[in-house]
Structure 1
């Protein structure tokens, strides 16, 4: 039944000349699209049923980037990758309602590479920059990826719902402890891409070999560095013997040899609870990950024993820039908040402007 209802929702999305579309739009979503429409007590049984079909379309369809004005960066599925998630993971504060159009230069019709590199982790940034953009601004298009022509069909919808029902339920609300962990991660005084990286590592969302094997992308889960253990996030970033030199500073990471962790999430939680150097850990782990990726593609990579000093430098530079920016902001805010006060008795106050001749 759901696949049949989704067909009607698809018609309301794409067949805008039909009487069916005109009647339902005028009655239920006159000033918005069906994707933004909500249920109401006045809605008919037919309308409520179509909304069920609409939700199926939203879960399965993808966006093809045109001008980017309809696509929310964080909420819509628009990354051209085979396996979910098909959108960047987790909205960054102050950017959670941004559209893809904000990433595109309107004059050159090219991605704003510096902005993309700054907002996203390296893997997502590279995927985004590989998306081809038309030289002429066109509308974004919603397509159904389970058919060859991108048009929804009953049969493909049924297959999608069947596969969806067979997948393990992973969208359960996180426990309160997890919510506090995420809050601490996103409150770190580090670059946004570093926060995103740590968050993804804790969620097992990095393209690590163990995860790639699970997705049947590769067959060998063994770490390429030490060739002795399965590569999961904890091993790749922390416990691999080949990164011992990175975490050799006993004054900072002495617990590495005395405390065991089941996964990277437990490690980050422990750092937060013990008040350890979480921000330095984040930059160091990010540098280890980058070095690992550069070595895999035979690119010029940082030598492992240099990673600690490079990480400290990156953290110090970020804090310096942040302090300078905050200082300018507070001075400007103080200036704007100054209020006009009347002059004392027997005095006249005159406001004037100086213009150069």
Structure 2
């Protein structure tokens, strides 16, 4: 036990280790005078260690030896100080959060959510959930391959990010953020009182938009692969076919834009017809 200034004293070479294991600190203290038994200390310990022991101040009261945990003022062990010892003193692989991450973790415990959610988020922040990779690190014999995509090991980053080619979890996460943003804008600009059901509607609508977007992107990719003579579209503009079956594009395109002033409530719109090949303007108005 490290009882001499945080270290274990070196026993004198003339002493038996079997006997030394039975020694107690009280064996080297004279209970009547409350001083060290200097002769016995020098006899049992290495000379330099004996000097360190004799330089230690003895307590004034007569108490029996007890285990003392130096990482807590009371001397008693706590889980919190034990965690501190493992993460700081031993340099373990435990995640060391920066100040901002620590504030986020404190926020988790203050949130008005079920305790099991708090514990889950706390474990997720410290990479402590029982994904396959973590189970393998703990000595369990298990296949670490992701059951969903079969393209990587199942760890926290893989499980809650791209997950192979699918990326469905990212879509749900971004759709949730977008739904919260839409609910905020409805509250600020239209005085709509936000509810959880309204946020859910925004999220569902966002996911439907994404599905439509990926469906249309797939169609356009097939059309490009077939060598369609698509026009040169400016960024952010949508090509619309009017008046006849979509079998090709005409030699011109119409660009339209508009804006309004919130203070004066004035609005305006403008249009321009451009040659599809050269990009030169054929006509404009507003």
Q: Same fold (TM over 0.5)?
A: no
Which TM class, normalised by the smaller chain length? 0.3 to 0.5
- TM-score normalised by the chain length of structure 1: 0.27
User: 1 or 2, which has the higher helix percentage?
Assistant: 1
- TM-score normalised by the chain length of structure 2: 0.32
Please tell me whether Structure 1 or Structure 2 has the larger radius of gyration of its CA atoms: 2
